[in-house]
Chains A and B, each alone.
Chain A
Amino acid sequence: MERSTVIAGFGGQGILFAGKVLAEAAMLEGREVLWIPSYGPEMRGGTASCTVIIADKTIGSPVVDRADHAVALNPPSMAKYGPIVAKGGLLVVNTTLIEAQAGRDDIEVLEVPCTAVAQRAGDDKLVSVVALGALIGRRRLVEPETVHRALAIVLGDRHADMVEMDAAAFDAGFAASLEPVAAPPRA
Chain B
Amino acid sequence: MTALDRRADSRDGSVAPARSDAGARRVDRVLMKGNEAIAEAAIAVGCDAYFGYPITPQAELLEWMARRMPEEGRVFVQAESELAAINMALGASAAGARVLVSSSSPGISLMAEAMSYMAGSRLPVVLVNVMRGGPGLGSIGAAQGDYLQATKGHGHGDYHVPVLAPSSIAEAIDLVRDAFILAERYRTPVMILADGILGQAMEPVAPAFRTLERQRPDWALEGAEGRPPRVLKSLHLRPEDLEEQDLALQRVYDEIRRSEQRWAGERLDDPDIVLVAYGSAARVARTAVERLREDGVGAGLFRPITLWPFPSEPLRHVARGARAVLAVEMSAGQLVEDVRLAIEGALPVSLHGRMGGMVPSPDGVVEAARRALSTGGEDGR
Contacts and interface: CB of A to CB of B under 8 A. Distances in A.
A and B touch in the complex (CB under 8 A): yes
B113 interface: no
B201 A57 contact: no
Nearest to B354: A63
Interface stretch (A31-39, A74-82, A87-95, A101-109): A31-39
B204 A33 contact: yes
B197 A32 contact: no
A20 B283 contact: no
B204 A27 contact: yes
A35 B361 contact: no
Contacts of A58: 20-22, 168, 286
Determine the interface band of chain B, counting residues with CB < 8 A from chain A: 20 to 34
A104 B360 CA distance: 25
Given A30-B25, A60-B287, A65 B204 contact: no
Nearest to A28: B27
A21 to B, nearest CB: 11
Interface in B282-337: 283-284, 286-288, 290
A40 B57 contact: yes
B348 interface: no
A63 B360 contact: yes
Interface string B22-53: 11111101010000000000000000000000
Contacts of A39: 56-57, 140, 196, 200
B201 A62 contact: yes
- Of A20, A55, A63, which is in contact with the most chain B CB atoms at under 10 Å from its CB? A63
Interface in A40-79: 40-41, 55-63, 65-66
B284 A61 contact: yes
A27 to B, nearest CB: 5
Contacts of B197: 36, 62
A33 B22 contact: no
B353 interface: no
Contacts of A41: 140
B359 A63 contact: yes
Contact of A55 (B22, B359, B362): B22
Contact of A60 (B202, B203, B284): B284
B283 A60 contact: yes
A24 interface: yes
A87 to B, nearest CB: 13
Interface of B: 20-27, 29, 31, 56-57, 140, 168, 196-197, 200-204, 280, 283-284, 286-288, 290, 359-364
24 contacts: A24-B31, A30-B25, A30-B26, A32-B22, A35-B31, A35-B201, A35-B203, A36-B200, A39-B57, A39-B196, A40-B140, A41-B140, A56-B22, A58-B20, A58-B286, A59-B283, A60-B290, A60-B362, A61-B362, A62-B201, A62-B283, A63-B284, A63-B360, A65-B364
List the 4 shortest-distance A-B pairs measured between CB atoms, nearest first: A30-B25, A60-B287, A61-B287, A65-B361
Interface of A: 20, 23-24, 27-30, 32-37, 39-41, 55-63, 65-66
